[in-house]
Amino acid sequence: MNHFISMKDFSKNEILEILKRANYLDSTPERNLCRENIVSTLFFEPSTRTRLSFVTAAYKLGAPVHGFDSPSGTSLQKGESLRDTIKMAESYCDTIVIRHPKDGSARFAADISKVPVINGGDGANEHPSQTLLDLYTIQKEQESLENIKIAFLGDLKYGRTVHSLTKALSLFNAEFYFIAAPEIQIPDYLLEELREKGIKYQLLDNFQEIVKKVDVLYVTRVQKERFQDFSVYEKVKNNYILKAENLRNAKDNLIVMHPLPRVNEIALDVDDTKFAKYFQQAANGVPVREAIISLALEKFPFSREEKVQEEILKNSKSLCQNNNCISNSEETDNKIVHHHGRDFCYYCRREIKDVNR
Ligand code: CP
């Protein structure tokens, strides 16, 4: 089944193939392609772009859409589990788009669903459809995804778009600069993945010099809703604000991207510069999500490459040490992945240390 859960599930060629499909759909309307299919959008967290662009994409493919945009008004308020919600939704539709605050929730939903599941953002974990539209934007603006120099700025700890895009661009020999306050720097497990692949990166605390060097400056909002200690949010929330004057010495081909919503991290005067691409980036979500829906519904030929089979073990209780992991709030199979002598949570992919089975 063509679930769409993590960028790690796709090879470089597979990513390029989906982007090619998005490019085709951008110029060639396919109004009847999915008219026999129903798309369900289950959004347990707020969203403007992801939900509206998935709904628009489904309509453009001819598919009717139903769903909810917050848990209020659903039986979740009566205590229904995510598991039972998915078991219900699967009988009413042909594919599910889910956004949920728990890390690994989309993987869990895919595990129990009879229909393909598309991850619209799971906690601070991943946001792969955003990543595809980010790649699509970079490809269009820079002509190639290869050897891009990219700086991420802002909340790199909780910014799931940063995590997914880092994983994807590491397949294209990118060079990374991570600019953030120490409290919200990029997680170690992602840096470790880059080191394992021999990919160049630097951690920085200032963006002024780097705008002269990079092709992409990817700015993110400090994600207030994910901080457990609010005083840390107050300390870091205004650390970086990009203004037009900061771009005076930028490389000519620089593009400024942002997954949006923004709060104050990009001043309005940047919108009027040639570098600002974030609204076009969000608009690119429609053809890209058309491609993802048509992939899930198997509407175009897509050959999956052979992947190394991972060793997956089930447990009687959750061993994941990530408090926000779905395995610590739902009845899952508490699976762990054994990989190169180490253990990782199957759902949120965090390493599990000192497993005592
Ligand atoms: N970029 C993004 O995920 O935006 P929304 O939260 O509005 O969907």
What are 163-193's pLDDT values in tens digits?
Answer: 999 999 999 999 999 999 999 999 998 999 9
Annotated catalytic residue: which of 50, 95, 131, 166?
Answer: 50
pLDDT of the residue at 357? 57
Atom index in ligand 1 nearest the CA of residue 46 equals 6
Annotated catalytic residue: which of 3, 21, 41, 49?
Answer: 49
pLDDT of the residue at 303? 86
Both tokens of residue 53? 């662009």
Nearest residue (CA) to ligand 1, atom 4: 49
CA R_g for the chain: 20
Atom index in ligand 1 nearest the CA of residue 260 equals 1
Catalytic annotation present for 50? yes
Closest to 289 measured CA to CA, from 45, 158, 77, 121? 121
pLDDT of the residue at 356? 66
Catalytic annotation present for 342? no
Distance 124 CA to ligand 1 centre (A): 13
75 lines ligand 1 (CB under 6 A): no
Annotated catalytic residue: which of 28, 78, 353, 357?
Answer: 78
| pTM, full prediction | 0.95
For the chain, list residues with pLDDT below 70: 356-357
Catalytic annotation present for 127? yes
For 116-146, write each residue's pLDDT tens digit: 999 999 999 999 999 999 999 999 999 999 9
Q: Is 57 exposed, middle or buried (0-12, 13-18, 19+ CB in 10 A)?
A: buried
φ, ψ for residue 216, nearest 5 deg: -135, 130
Can you list the domains of the chain with their CATH numbers?
7-127+285-296 (3.40.50.1370), 128-279 (3.40.50.1370), 311-352 (2.30.30)
50 lines ligand 1 (CB under 6 A): yes
